[in-house]
Chain A
Amino acid sequence: MSFWTYADRFGILIDNEKVPTEKKLGVAPGNTFYFSMAQKIYENFTITEEGITGDRVSKGQSTVSPMYENIMNQENVYTYPFPSDMSLPDGIDEYRAAGYVVPATGRGTPYIQLLFKTYPDGSGYSTNVPVYKNGNRVEFLGQQMPEAIITTSNLADGSAPSTTLATPVSAIQGIANNYWSRLENADYFQLLEVSTNIPIFDTEAHCKAYLDDESGETDEGIVNPVNPDYEEEYSLDQKFYYIHNSFTHYYHGTTTKYWRNYRFKPGYDSKIRLYRVKPSTSRYYTLVLIVPSGMTRYIAPEGDYNKTSFIEDENTLQTHYCDASFQISRVNPRDEMVVTSPLKTNIPIFGSREDATKYANDELTIEDALNYSDILAFENELPQPEFGDEDAETETGVNGQTYMAGSAVYVLTRSEMIQFFTEIFKIQDPSFINAFKDGNVLFGDNQANAIIGCMYFPFNAADVCSLESSSGSIWVGGWQSQNATGRKVNMNDKVLTVGEFFLSDMFQDVRDYEPYTHLFVQLPYCGTYQLSIQKYINKTVKINYAVDIFTGACTALIYANNILLDSMDGMIGSQRPITGRTAANMLQAITRGSASTIGAAAAGMKGASVLAGAGQAVFEGGESIAALGIGAGTQTTLASGALALSAGAVGVAGAGAGAVAGVDMMYKAKNAYADPPMSTRGQYSGNLAMFSNQKVHFIVAMRHTHRPENELDLFGYPSGRGGLIGSFSGFLRSSCVQLADGFIGSVQERNEILQMIAKGIYI
């Protein structure tokens, strides 16, 4: 994992490679976790059980300064970040961050946050910048920074602190001046709140326990639980800005190369930009990087070059974090040879700071950047569609029909259903028969046809329907039940929310896609399907079921980031045969469904025999009822039918248990297959689906693959990118090279060059 810190307006991603793997990163009270966003303080830091010490890469400073210790002696000292929405003084349109985090002693929030700010000419500090705590504006402290130091006795539990200002202002000013002296080249800076997922403990004992526990399960005493919002943000594969920069010097027959790779993760609403400066005393450009708030960065030296850091006197004019400087071209001091220092970046470069600011303020667009064409080339961005309206998510409709007249739909529980049929089949009661016939004279001799259908759904029907608030009597045609009740359905207007998850990539390369990795979905009552994994990877996958309670049909709606990409049809309602016609229809449906079944799921079901028994029982019962006709049967036959129905219900339950074992066996059996990775099948029909999986399962089938660890350095990755050869570094193989003008060698030499590059060279 990468450790990250997050600030309200600025952040930095600590290079994971810098964290020794044998140690965890932990900080105990009394020790120091020193963190600076204004300088590359922890370019190379070490972690010990006593805390963290760092090797400063520039403008050295002791780990613990006297002023710092003064602050340490102030127990429970807190300051508060400037609110993100505060208004900035005239002429100030951005801030830079600097600061450190110190665990406090004793109970309470384990770190101190100091707030600094100053202004471009360094002539003074603001005296009217509001400081807030708990949403309330705090009284201004003084004419010089820091703006506010607040002493309180209790902030750990989030209770309101006192508003007493700390007295040792001079000590704080000392620290501020210390910072100021080291950051004097900065136009202005401001320290802001920093949050971190680096664990911070309430006691040193807890910290040591954490460090000593190799299992990573010891977390007692952590006082800064990870903010899930931040974790989610950082786990998403956001677009990275990057700078690939290399420096090559050729003179005196020696070659030195420096290489740097920066990656930046943008904040929520910020823009990263560069502007170009050509100092009057210099023969080369400097690019000044402006990192807005909410930005993270890591630096990843790569390759086998002999140095991986800037040489301060040659390559950097300033060493401030925010002012990373890059040479893009120069002539060496002796004018002997042109030095090529290619710069690759997708960060827009502007000709002046003013233009960069306009870009930040949306007065200019990225198309106004000096390197816009290069950005397009680097990114190979897809053109944005210019048709239709922007649509961030698929909006599905709802069934707005109301079932108020003509027919009525009722939702019944099992006991209500038994009650209903008990009442319906009171055929020994002539008064009932007459009442039922009178109420359904429209149906002639087939009064039972007034019962249009009866279906069973394996979920609470209220999840897909709006129901009457309470149960009422049931109307069959013009006949009203005396005892049986059910809840009337007003509308079939809801979709069943099945759930969602984030399908993250595993390799972060081509192996996450077909043909290396396949994605399948097992949709209860719809079947098993292969999905195109490229549509869903690195997206939130959501599934809803739309169910038609009239027909029992369902559609599984599969979304990726709220865009509906796939839908599969199925049959989720199983008909209960009330009449001979419905029984025949049901049998026909099952026959069709069985014929379409490939058998991957059904074959492993131990409940198959139970299923057969259950199905037979249901049919027998149904046929018995059908054979009777209303008022034409005998009590004995009716009892047989009811018994059969009951047996059928038991059989269903037993078969369901068997199905679980069957599915489990199926999963194990899959490992024996090489190709194809899974069988797919269409929808189930009738009761069959009830014996299959009852949860939506996603199955990822991944080929066993191998990508050599040294491939990138040794052989590169597939590229397809164009540009000057000098803009590449490391291995390069190209079969398409156009030598620049000015080649004075022979044809043989030209061919040799092209052949060598076609085979691969190292730059």
Chain B
Amino acid sequence: MVINLYNNTKLLNRLERTFTSVATLNGSLREGCDVINPDIWVEYNANYLNANYAYIADFNRYYYFREPPAIDGKRMLLMLHADALYNYRDLIMKSECIADRSSSNYSPYIDDDVITSESGYEYYSRSLPFEFTPDSGSYVLICAGGS
């Protein structure tokens, strides 16, 4: 099968990938593998060690290297894992969700466990302008009768 090897510089928890092509080569599937975790025997080439990502057209999937390649004489074993996040990125983008946390749609007024509280308080005092004047007030006299 034909394998396209790439170098991907984006972390796997991102929906996007940035590829640099490393090589296009032929390889053979090791027995007992599945399409999600294929192990591929390829001819040894030191340049392949620069790759960390692959595309297998037969499986219509992108893969990342789940482990570094194993080298056996003139052969290398590429141990891959299907990159589900990238393979289904378009469908994921069209999927509904309710966000727990978000950088774009959020409210800063929801309680947030990330906020840490240290002990103690800071106090700010503000007074209103009116001031009672105990030393110059008024006496009120209430009497029966009057006119």
A498 to B126, CA, bound (A): 13
Q: Which of A461, A510, A698 contacts B115 (CB 8 A)?
A: A510
Instruction: Find out whether the CB atom of B143 lies under 8 angstroms from the CB atom of A756.
Output: no
Interface residues of B in 82-122 (CB under 8 A from A): 82, 84-85, 87-112, 114-122
Instruction: Find out whether the CB atom of A510 lies under 8 angstroms from the CB atom of B109.
Output: yes
Instruction: Find out whether the CB atom of A677 lies under 8 angstroms from the CB atom of B138.
Output: no
Instruction: Find out whether the CB atom of A499 lies under 8 angstroms from the CB atom of B130.
Output: yes
Which residues of chain B are near A412, meaning CB under 8 Å?
A: 138-141
Instruction: Find out whether the CB atom of B145 lies under 8 angstroms from the CB atom of A477.
Output: yes
Q: Which of A410, A729, A733 contacts B140 (CB 8 A)?
A: A410
Instruction: Find out whether the CB atom of A255 lies under 8 angstroms from the CB atom of B103.
Output: no
Interface residues of B in 47-93 (CB under 8 A from A): 82, 84-85, 87-93
Q: Which of B103, B116, B126 contacts A732 (CB 8 A)?
A: B103
Q: Report if B144 contacts A (CB, 8 A).
A: yes
Q: Which of A257, A451, A656, A718 contacts B143 (CB 8 A)?
A: A451
Interface range on chain B: under 10, 10 to 19, 20 to 34, or 35 or more?
35 or more
| With A407-B143, A408-B142, A486-B141 as contacts: A524 and B102 at CB distance below 8 Å | no
Instruction: Find out whether the CB atom of B118 lies under 8 angstroms from the CB atom of A695.
Output: no
Which residues of chain A are near B97, meaning CB under 8 Å?
A: 722-725, 728, 732, 734, 736-738, 757
Q: Which of B35, B126, B132 contacts A501 (CB 8 A)?
A: B126
Looking at the assembled complex, report how far the CB atom of B84 sits from the nearest CB atom of chain A, in whole angstroms.
4
Q: Report if A244 contacts B (CB, 8 A).
A: yes
Residue of A nearest to B147 (CB): A475
| With A303-B103, A704-B122, A730-B104 as contacts: A718 and B110 at CB distance below 8 Å | yes
Residue of B nearest to A261 (CB): B104
Instruction: Find out whether the CB atom of B130 lies under 8 angstroms from the CB atom of A454.
Output: no
Q: Report if B32 contacts A (CB, 8 A).
A: no
Q: Which of B16, B82, B99 contacts A722 (CB 8 A)?
A: B99
Looking at the assembled complex, report how far the CB atom of A530 sits from the nearest CB atom of chain B, in whole angstroms.
13
Which residues of chain B are near A723, meaning CB under 8 Å?
A: 96-97, 99, 105
Q: Report if B31 contacts A (CB, 8 A).
A: no
Q: Report if A474 contacts B (CB, 8 A).
A: yes
| With A458-B132, A703-B118, A748-B36 as contacts: A719 and B143 at CB distance below 8 Å | no
Which residues of chain A are near B104, meaning CB under 8 Å?
A: 244, 344, 728-730, 732
A302 to B103, CA, bound (A): 10
Q: Per-residue CB proximity of B5-29 to A under 8 Å, as 1/0?
A: 0000001011111110000000000
Interface range on chain A: under 10, 10 to 19, 20 to 34, or 35 or more?
35 or more
Which residues of chain B are near A457, meaning CB under 8 Å?
A: 137-140
Q: Report if A373 contacts B (CB, 8 A).
A: no
Instruction: Find out whether the CB atom of A707 lies under 8 angstroms from the CB atom of B114.
Output: yes
A420 to B125, CA, bound (A): 42
Instruction: Find out whether the CB atom of B117 lies under 8 angstroms from the CB atom of A703.
Output: yes
Which residues of chain B are near A743, meaning CB under 8 Å?
A: 88, 91
| With A524-B132, A715-B101 as contacts: A549 and B140 at CB distance below 8 Å | yes
Main secondary structure of the interface of B (DSSP, over half): mixed
Q: Per-residue CB proximity of A422-459 to B under 8 Å, as 1/0?
A: 00000000000000000110010000011111111111
Looking at the assembled complex, report how far the CB atom of A642 sits from the nearest CB atom of chain B, in whole angstroms.
15
Which residues of chain A are near B147, meaning CB under 8 Å?
A: 408, 475, 480
Looking at the assembled complex, report how far the CB atom of B66 sits from the nearest CB atom of chain A, in whole angstroms.
12
Instruction: Find out whether the CB atom of B106 lies under 8 angstroms from the CB atom of A717.
Output: yes
| With A706-B115, A725-B93 as contacts: A476 and B145 at CB distance below 8 Å | yes
Residue of B nearest to A737 (CB): B97
Instruction: Find out whether the CB atom of B87 lies under 8 angstroms from the CB atom of A745.
Output: yes
A109 to B31, CA, bound (A): 86
Interface residues of A in 725-753 (CB under 8 A from B): 725-740, 742-743, 745-746, 748-750, 752-753
Q: Which of A250, A694, A698, A732 contacts B99 (CB 8 A)?
A: A732
Residue of A nearest to B112 (CB): A718
Instruction: Find out whether the CB atom of B123 lies under 8 angstroms from the CB atom of A720.
Output: no
| With A716-B101, A724-B96 as contacts: A753 and B142 at CB distance below 8 Å | no
The segment from A78-86, A197-205, A290-298, A665-673 found at the interface with B is A665-673
Instruction: Find out whether the CB atom of B145 lies under 8 angstroms from the CB atom of A408.
Output: yes
Instruction: Find out whether the CB atom of B139 lies under 8 angstroms from the CB atom of A697.
Output: no
Most buried by A among B85, B95, B122, B141: B141
Which residues of chain B are near A732, meaning CB under 8 Å?
A: 97, 99, 101-104
Interface residues of A in 377-417 (CB under 8 A from B): 378, 403, 405-414, 416-417
Which residues of chain A are near B115, meaning CB under 8 Å?
A: 510-511, 516, 705-707
Instruction: Find out whether the CB atom of B139 lies under 8 angstroms from the CB atom of A455.
Output: yes
Q: Report if A653 contacts B (CB, 8 A).
A: yes
Which residues of chain B are near A408, meaning CB under 8 Å?
A: 142-143, 145-147
Given contacts A411-B139, A746-B36, 12 further A-B contacts (CB under 8 A): A257-B16, A340-B90, A403-B146, A408-B147, A453-B141, A656-B134, A708-B114, A713-B103, A720-B99, A721-B102, A734-B97, A761-B13
Interface residues of B, Cβ cutoff 8 Å to A: 11, 13-19, 35-36, 82, 84-85, 87-112, 114-135, 137-147
Q: Which 4 A-B pairs have the closest CB atoms?
A: A408-B146, A730-B103, A499-B128, A726-B93
Q: Could you list some 17 contacts between A and B, CB below 8 A? A: A253-B19, A254-B18, A255-B18, A407-B144, A449-B144, A457-B137, A475-B143, A500-B128, A697-B128, A700-B126, A701-B123, A703-B122, A716-B101, A720-B110, A724-B94, A731-B101, A756-B85
